[in-house]
Every structure is written in C-alpha cells, then in structure tokens.
Amino acid sequence: MQNNITGKVIVITGASSGLGEATARLLASQGAKIVLAARRADRINALAKELIESGSHAIAVTTDVARRHDVTNLVDITIKTFGHIDVMINNAGVMPLSLVEKLQVEEWEQMVDINLKGVLYGVAAALPHMQSRKSGQFINVASTAGHRVMPTSSVYSATKYAVRAFSEGLRQEVTPHNIRVTIISPGASATELMTHVSDKEIANNLKASADFALPASAFANMVSFAISQPEEVDVNEILFRPTRQEK
C-alpha cells in the first residue's frame, strides 16, 4: 500500500533540531526527498549526509526564514535540484516568553519575524510553483498557544494565532488549485524552544512540563499522517497535547 509520501519533495524549515529534525528523519525513512533548511549550517549538513548515507535523497540549504531572500533562495534551489515542491513545512520558530511589562521588544520582533513572517515568506516562495502544477501542500506550525493565551505568552500566542488565521484564509483561496493546507498545533514538546526563554523565573517554571513533554517524534507522526492522506483529503488542522497537559 502506498503511503503518499514516497518520492515527494518536502521542504522543512527549522530542520536543525527538535520537531524539524525528527520530521526529516521520519519522512526520509518513508521515501521522501528532503530539503533541510535552518540557520545552523553545520547541523543540517551533518543531517543531510546522514540521510544520504542511509539511502535517502536529501540536501541542506542554509536559511534564515526571517530573510525573504533566503527563503526564496531555498525554494529556487529545491526546484533546481528536484524539479518541484510537493510539501512546504513552515516549522521554524522561537519562543522567548516574557511578561509584556518587561518590554523585551527585540524578542517580540524576533517572534514576529520568524514565527509569522517566516511562514508568510515560505508560502510566498512556494505558492507560484504549486499553483502552476495544481498540486502541493503547506504545513504551517502553530501551537496550543495559538488556541489559548497565558501570562508571558502574549506575543508568542499572537504570532501563533496569526499563523492559524493566515493558514485558514490561504486554505480557502487555494482550493481551486488543488493545494492542501494543514495547521499543526503541538502542545508541550521536548525541544530547544524552552532554551529561548531569557527570563530565568519563567524558564524554571517551564521545566515542570519536562516530565510530560512529548518527544519530537510525536509531531513527526502528525506530519506524516497529514501528508499521507489521499490527495482529495485535506487535513486542515491538528491540535495535540501530552495526555498529562491540562492547558
């Protein structure tokens, strides 16, 4: 039985660690051709080498999703190498939580640039290619914080709510082009996101969730599920949490 993944060209931003890395490994094992994108060139180059040595097709493209030119270049290299894009996974994100009164404006700007603009740039770069082929899928990563706001998550939640709103509007617009759009909102996950928190008190409080945080492989399985559905099935949104996560 075909998994609808084998042979697909899949671009993954934020692929140097965590959710992106786990997703790259799983999809490569399922026969996808993987394009790894992240700022840390050493990590994605090492991962690409590992995947190639295991028999998969993979390339690494150093990319800062906050720079539109970088994302355009990522898509251009993908098209040049593989001829097309089947799936664009806009996964890169940061989570420097803080109270608004702390006025961490530079961190706010970073979240807007990476979490939101990075998604917009990914869609802007890949959409024309998908439209011309009348085929493709965007997977945009939001968060449970895009469904519920808590103290310290104001700006982070704002970016993730925005990703969800944009993705739903995009979904409605691209239906005539046979393009699928999926939002994935993970709960507590064992990734490097918690290391982005500069406020020591908040960082210490987050450590409490480490006991039940899901491995990155849980997210990878959700991505695989969304992609593997028949082309006429568009999984619009997946929201998941650890069983022990209350909020």
Q: What is the pLDDT of residues 187-198, one digit of tens each?
A: 988 877 666 676
Euclidean distance between CA atoms 190 and 60, whole angstroms: 24
Euclidean distance between CA atoms 92 and 94, whole angstroms: 7
Q: What is the pLDDT of residue 1?
A: 38
Q: What is the pLDDT of residue 237?
A: 98
Q: What is the pLDDT of residue 78?
A: 98
Please give the backbone phi and psi of residue 60, each rounded to the nearest 5 degrees, phi first: -120, 135
Residue percentage of the chain with pLDDT more than 90:
87
pLDDT digits (tens, 9 = 90+) for 123-151: 999 999 999 999 999 999 999 999 999 99
Q: What is the pLDDT of residue 231?
A: 95
Q: Which residue has the higher pLDDT, 154 or 1?
A: 154
CATH architecture assigned to 9-240: 3-Layer(aba) Sandwich (3.40)
pLDDT, mean of residues 72-83: 98
Residue percentage of the chain with pLDDT more than 70:
94
Euclidean distance between CA atoms 86 and 70, whole angstroms: 19
Give residue 209's pLDDT band: very low, low, confident or very high (50, 70, 90): low
Q: What is the pLDDT of residue 206?
A: 66
The answer, yes or no, to whether residue 210 has pLDDT greater than 90, is no
Q: Give the residue among 192, 172, 209 at the shortest CA–CA distance from 14.
A: 192
> Whole-prediction pTM value?
0.94
Q: Is 161 labeled as catalytic in the residue annotation?
A: no
Q: What is the pLDDT of residue 247?
A: 80
| Cross-strand partners of 244 | none
Give residue 199's pLDDT band: very low, low, confident or very high (50, 70, 90): confident
The answer, yes or no, to whether residue 2 has pLDDT greater than 60, is no
| Cross-strand partners of 182 | 139
Structure tokens, 207: 């450590």
Give residue 167's pLDDT band: very low, low, confident or very high (50, 70, 90): very high
Considering the candidates 156, 161, 166, 219, report the single residue annotated as catalytic.
156
Q: 2: burial class by Cβ within 10 Å (0-12, 13-18, 19+)?
A: exposed
